[in-house]
Structure 1
Amino acid sequence: MKYYSTNGKSSLASFKEAILKGLPDDNGLYMPQEIPELTSSFFRDIDNYSLPEIGYKVIQPFVDGEIPDSILKSIIEETLNFEIPLVKVFDDIYSLELFHGPTFAFKDVGARFLARSLSYFSKKSEQKLTVLVATSGDTGSAVAQGFYGVPNIDVVILFPSGKISYFQEQQMTTLGKNITALEVNGTFDDCQRMVKQAFLDKELIEEMNLTSANSINIARLLPQSIYYFYGVAQIPKDKRQQLVVSVPSGNYGNLSAGLIARQLGLPIQHFLACSNANDTVPKYLETAEYKAQSSVQTISNAMDVGDPSNFQRMLNLYSGSHENMKSDITGYSYSDRETREAIHQVFNKTSYVLDPHGAVGFLGLKEYLTNKAGKGIFLETAHPYKFKEIVEKEINIELPPVLSFDELQKKSSSFSSKFEALKAFLLEK
């Protein structure tokens, strides 16, 4: 399997080259040269496969022997060593809970696969890597935990000061060792811009082995396709027709992974791109005009992205056609007030606890199914406890703690939003 750039000006890359570089030289994003449809027998028997078995079937064509099959199976088993249950919330509405991993967020799947794949390649080459990542909340904690203590790999995480939850911040700033957290005086878009500039800077490229752990890295994104298959495998067979999947969306890696799952043959009829006030993509779907905007801070902070990187991949999957994309994807956006009301109302009716991101996904699914026949899955992307201050106000119940940071000391540095400061830091490091 070869990987090409969405900008079409870089040479084809192997799986190893694509994940080690993170970004192509032309500032595009890597995409697989082909997305092969999986066999009919796999879909016929999908109910009988375990989560790691499904994971191997989905990922193996994209790795294509660059990691030996036996090692790849071990990597996937280690990556997916927690459950991803499908939970019925209302008739014909299900929650796919992606928060049962070590950092209680969906990004554990991609981060753990990427960490283990990079570790395999770095051990073979004996070259030290520096993983550079920007986060709007959950990516940083998942990457920090996934790479913590991995030999030959240093991690530098950029996060926007004051714009993520206490729980998220503590998860990525209390580790130390090979994990460095930089608290940027700016927005997530500033952090993401600095990371992209780093990968295009000739001096940094010559001096350091840089790679990315954001969803701009194809090995972070591809494993996220796995849980779409596992979600469908858990839904009753008689409810798999006219299936709609609602994806709370920020940088749109998760939705891109779902679209790839669909091209692999997964029977999903329609996707919903659900955002908070950062509604760049829903507006594009409505108007056919893409207008990047400055990100706005919301209670669903992991989706506070005004210029999502993975929109390039979405466009690429549809050959630039707005009409074709709109036929498969409907966009919605919701305010903080609507998000809070959804948490409150769903709990009062069902005792199910939504986090702010899952609430946005639920709202989109509910609105879509009001006017159209079908069954739906929304992605519950983070544990509600990560946003306990917000959630507890709406459900009037204290959530039991999932992890305590009381004895852990924060280790992070206040940092400029200027690329020159990041470059100097990396070269000195």
Structure 2
Amino acid sequence: MLFTSTRNNELSVTFSQAVRDCIPDDGGVFVPSSIEDMRRWIYYIDETTPFSSIAGSLTSALMHEEFSPIICETIATAAFPVEPVVKQLDGSLFMTEMYHGFLGCHRDYGVSYLCNYLEYTLELKGGKAVFVDFTHGGLGALMSRILKGKKNIKSVLVYKKGTVRGLDEESLAWNGGNIYPVEMEGTEAEIKAAISKVFADRNFVKEHGLTVANTTNVCRLLGQIFFFPYSFAQIKNKFNGELYYAMGAGNYGSLMAGLYSWRFALPVNGFYVPSTPALARSATGAPVVLDSLVDLKARGEANPAVPANLERLESFFGKNELMMRNFIYPVDISEAQRDAAAKELYIKYGIFADKDTASAYAAAKENSGEVYDEDGAFILTAYNHPSLSSDYCRHVIGEAPEMPENIKASLVPFQLNRPLVSGANELRKIIENFSL
């Protein structure tokens, strides 16, 4: 499978190069230039097919020019020790719980896939990689677990002051681990700008093997594709009509993963997402990407610290507005509608819902008539364990779910007791010394 750039369709690179380089030199983001037709395979899988097998088969489809099927299966098996959970709530409503990973987030699966893919790639082809990412704390707690035992990957994690959590002493660089956490002065926007400044030096990036673990990295994004054929396999023998996904907006990584799954020939008829200022609907109901008002050539370079999935969405549909209109359905959802949906999920199905899950259900409810009248069904996506939104659940429902011990451990504050980093130059020095 080859990849090109959202800003230069003449560019053609391998999967491994797209993962390592992370940001093309033209300032866009990597997207697949072609996708295998997996129709026969998709109709072959069913509820007995393990998640890791689905991931291994798709990995082989992505990388068959680079790695053997055995290596692809090995990567997937190492990345996914646990499976998502797909539930049938009623005859035409299903839910995919994407949070049964390491620390209760759908991110766990994508990051684990990315890290295991990189480790095997670097082991076979040589080289080292260093992640440089901003984190509110969750990514750091995850990295401190996933990178244990990895020989070819390190991670520099940048936090706002006082937000470090979930780390353990063994994972820290000064104790022989793979993680170098730093606290930086400034706002979140200023910190992300400092990271972007580091990545702006292309020679420095290549010299030290820098990349990111967010969905700017196409491997992290494609690692989220596996949820979609897995959920289809789990319900294909329970429902035969048209399928629609309803999902929270997030950074639109899951929406792009779903669209790539459709390109693999997954039978899905559309995606409902809550409207946001970035992706809304016009007076005629057509989806509108606000960024599209500015020509790609007039935009600044993609910021590696800020996922650019809407630029991928633009690239996916190109100039075909009619196709986008008939596949992406932004839905205006008020807070009152969202909260009412959260209550209904709990009362009818015993489901605790965070804001994203409640918004997804509200979007489905707003359009249930037209979907159900056509013998269709909705698959809701639940990104994160509801206990991470206990305050919201308690406020809206009156009680909150119990938090598993592994998630509790990821939230424990951690004191670095090290000097604050003031900006990009100091961050560069840390990377230089740590990447040796």
TM-score normalized by structure 2?
Answer: 0.82
Q: Does 1:426 align with 2:431?
A: yes
Q: Does 1:67 align with 2:67?
A: yes
Aligned-residue RMSD, C-alpha: 3.3
The amino acid across from 1:170 in the alignment is R
Q: Check the 8 A contact 1:161/1:185 in 2, yes or no.
A: yes
C-alpha displacement of 1:144: 4.3
Quote the residue 1:363 is aligned against. Answer: 362
The amino acid across from 1:60 in the alignment is S
- SS of the aligned residue for 1:31 comes to strand
Residues 142-153 of structure 1: pairs in structure 2 closer than 5 A: 142-153=142-153
Partners in 1 of 2:311 and 2:240 — Cα distance?
A: 30
Partners in 2 of 1:58 and 1:348 — Cα distance?
A: 38
- SS of the aligned residue for 1:87 comes to strand
Partners in 2 of 1:317 and 1:109 — Cα distance?
A: 23
Q: Check the 8 A contact 2:243/2:378 in 1, yes or no.
A: yes
Q: Check the 8 A contact 1:109/1:223 in 2, yes or no.
A: yes
Quote the residue 1:171 is aligned against. Answer: 166
- SS of the aligned residue for 1:239 comes to coil
How has the CA–CA distance of structure 1 residues 318 and 239 changed in structure 2, closer, same or farther, with 3 Å as cutoff?
A: same
Q: Check the 8 A contact 1:84/1:227 in 2, yes or no.
A: yes
Structure 1 window deviating more from structure 2 (238-247 vs 210-219): it is 238-247
The amino acid across from 1:397 in the alignment is E
Partners in 2 of 1:364 and 1:157 — Cα distance?
A: 35
Structure 1 window deviating more from structure 2 (97-106 vs 139-148): it is 139-148
How has the CA–CA distance of structure 1 residues 66 and 179 changed in structure 2, closer, same or farther, with 3 Å as cutoff?
A: same
Quote the residue 2:414 is aligned against. Answer: 409
Partners in 2 of 1:411 and 1:237 — Cα distance?
A: 52
Bigger Cα Rg: 2
The amino acid across from 2:320 in the alignment is S
Partners in 2 of 1:370 and 1:185 — Cα distance?
A: 51
- SS of the aligned residue for 1:224 comes to coil
Q: Check the 8 A contact 2:287/2:329 in 1, yes or no.
A: no
Residues 38-57 of structure 1: pairs in structure 2 closer than 5 A: 38-40=38-40, 42-57=42-57
Quote the residue 1:303 is aligned against. Answer: none
Structure 1 window deviating more from structure 2 (74-83 vs 137-146): it is 137-146
Point out where structure 2 has 5 or more consecutive residues left out of the alignment. Answer: 293-304
C-alpha displacement of 1:248: 1.4
Quote the residue 2:331 is aligned against. Answer: 332
Quote the residue 2:96 is aligned against. Answer: 96
Output one character per residue of 1:60-103: Cα deviation in whole Å (capped at 9) or x when no partner.
11112423321221211122221211112344221100111111
Structure 1 window deviating more from structure 2 (405-414 vs 217-226): it is 405-414
How has the CA–CA distance of structure 1 residues 390 and 15 changed in structure 2, closer, same or farther, with 3 Å as cutoff?
A: same
Output one character per residue of 1:346-397: Cα deviation in whole Å (capped at 9) or x when no partner.
2133221112222222222222224433210111000011222322333333
The amino acid across from 2:279 in the alignment is V
Q: Does 1:235 align with 2:235?
A: yes
C-alpha displacement of 1:185: 5.7
Q: Check the 8 A contact 2:246/2:363 in 1, yes or no.
A: yes
Partners in 2 of 1:159 and 1:282 — Cα distance?
A: 31
Output one character per residue of 1:130-174: Cα deviation in whole Å (capped at 9) or x when no partner.
112234675554444332442232112345668xxx8xx633687
How has the CA–CA distance of structure 1 residues 287 and 161 changed in structure 2, closer, same or farther, with 3 Å as cutoff?
A: farther
Quote the residue 1:79 is aligned against. Answer: 79
Quote the residue 1:311 is aligned against. Answer: 310
Structure 1 window deviating more from structure 2 (260-269 vs 417-426): it is 417-426
Residues 19-30 of structure 1: pairs in structure 2 closer than 5 A: 19-30=19-30
Quote the residue 1:349 is aligned against. Answer: 348
- SS of the aligned residue for 2:225 comes to helix
Structure 1 window deviating more from structure 2 (50-59 vs 331-340): it is 331-340
Quote the residue 1:122 is aligned against. Answer: 122
The amino acid across from 2:322 in the alignment is E
Partners in 2 of 1:141 and 1:334 — Cα distance?
A: 32
Quote the residue 1:34 is aligned against. Answer: 34
Partners in 1 of 2:33 and 2:417 — Cα distance?
A: 40
Point out where structure 1 has 5 or more consecutive residues left out of the alignment. Answer: 293-305
Structure 1 window deviating more from structure 2 (209-218 vs 138-147): it is 138-147
Quote the residue 1:296 is aligned against. Answer: none
1:282 is matched with which residue: 277, 280, 283? 280
Structure 1 window deviating more from structure 2 (343-352 vs 109-118): it is 343-352
Q: Check the 8 A contact 2:138/2:166 in 1, yes or no.
A: no
Partners in 1 of 2:89 and 2:290 — Cα distance?
A: 34
How has the CA–CA distance of structure 1 residues 140 and 361 changed in structure 2, closer, same or farther, with 3 Å as cutoff?
A: farther
- SS of the aligned residue for 1:229 comes to helix
Partners in 2 of 1:375 and 1:67 — Cα distance?
A: 37
Quote the residue 2:379 is aligned against. Answer: 377
Aligned pair count reads: 410
How has the CA–CA distance of structure 1 residues 134 and 258 changed in structure 2, closer, same or farther, with 3 Å as cutoff?
A: farther
Q: Check the 8 A contact 1:251/1:308 in 2, yes or no.
A: yes
Structure 1 window deviating more from structure 2 (335-344 vs 45-54): it is 335-344
Partners in 2 of 1:240 and 1:279 — Cα distance?
A: 35
The amino acid across from 2:209 in the alignment is N
The amino acid across from 1:363 in the alignment is A
The amino acid across from 1:79 in the alignment is A
- SS of the aligned residue for 2:326 comes to helix
Quote the residue 1:298 is aligned against. Answer: none
Q: Check the 8 A contact 2:156/2:180 in 1, yes or no.
A: yes
Quote the residue 1:13 is aligned against. Answer: 13
- SS of the aligned residue for 2:157 comes to strand
TM-score normalized by structure 1?
Answer: 0.84
How much identity, in percent, do the aligned residues show? 21
Partners in 2 of 1:137 and 1:252 — Cα distance?
A: 21
Partners in 2 of 1:249 and 1:172 — Cα distance?
A: 29
How has the CA–CA distance of structure 1 residues 419 and 344 changed in structure 2, closer, same or farther, with 3 Å as cutoff?
A: farther
C-alpha displacement of 1:231: 0.5
C-alpha displacement of 1:213: 1.3
The amino acid across from 1:210 in the alignment is L
